[in-house]
Amino acid sequence: MLTSGQLAQRCHTSIRTVQYYDQKGLLHAKRTPSNRRAYDEKDLLRLQQIITYRKLGFKLKDIQRLIENKQTAHVLSSLIDKQTNLLQQQLHQTKSQLEGLKYLKKQLNSMDNFSTKLQEEVLSSMNMTKELHHLRLKLVVWGLIVDILLWGSLIYVVYQGTSIWWFILGFIFSLIICGKITYSYYQHSLYLCPHCHSEFVPLFREWILAVHTPNMKKLTCPHCQQKNFCIEEYR
């Protein structure tokens, strides 16, 4: 059996941390006859798992689910996805803050004092992330409307035995909405080249065919001619 101190030492952490996880119900200490906490090898393994998950940024309640759940692979996979999304959002936020700082520095070099206008510009460049988020949300909602329209008209035709033209009409409307939302997304996006740090708007044809991730698209920068994954921004 191990004492709190020995367990902490084996996991390169503090006694306070061990006690904290114990209080939170993540570790289950046994009691010695003298009423001191005692841990076995299973607890050691458990604490190592907790520390690893903590380093990956998981919340305590998620860690609890991970180590208690028998179907760990499935739970872990969905929690990893959740954590990846969260970190990507944070990364994007950090990048836009860095852009704000870079812009501020550039302006300071050419200006003597820190004008109100400048502050506004820096803030607006950081707020772009929020606007981009709203835009994406709007697209998701419109996407749902298209789905309902398309499936609704199909179900209507199949179950009511009405004319196929209702479905064709639904299909045409869906196409129009899809076209409109795609173009509206294009009109509001701007890309930052990671190579020369300039911002640009790609041609629609290149934009629509480009490989992409949730926050980036693989585009050719018109300034340095390099093809890279470029960070999406709001314009």
Applying CB under 5 A, the residues found at the interface with Zn ion are 193, 195-196, 221, 223-224
Amino acid letter, 190? L
Q: Residue 57 in contact with residue 90, Cβ under 8 Å?
A: no
Give the contacts of 8 (CB within 8 A, at least 6 positions apart): 14, 15, 17, 18
- Distance of closest approach, residue 223 Cβ to Zn ion, in angstroms: 4
Given the complex with Zn ion, which of 131 and 199 has the nearer CB atom?
A: 199
Given the complex with Zn ion, which of 115 and 226 has the nearer CB atom?
A: 226
Q: Residue 178 in contact with residue 185, Cβ under 8 Å?
A: no
Residue identified by tokens 């795609």 is: 182
Kind plus residue range of the DSSP H or E element containing 192: strand 189-192
- Distance of closest approach, residue 2 Cβ to Zn ion, in angstroms: 56
- Distance of closest approach, residue 222 Cβ to Zn ion, in angstroms: 8
Given the complex with Zn ion, which of 140 and 211 has the nearer CB atom?
A: 211
Quick one: CA torsion of 66, 68, 69, 73, rounded to 10 degrees? 40
Give the contacts of 153 (CB within 8 A, at least 6 positions apart): 166, 167, 169, 170, 171
Given the complex with Zn ion, which of 100 and 202 has the nearer CB atom?
A: 202
- Distance of closest approach, residue 171 Cβ to Zn ion, in angstroms: 40
Given the complex with Zn ion, which of 162 and 225 has the nearer CB atom?
A: 225
- Distance of closest approach, residue 192 Cβ to Zn ion, in angstroms: 9
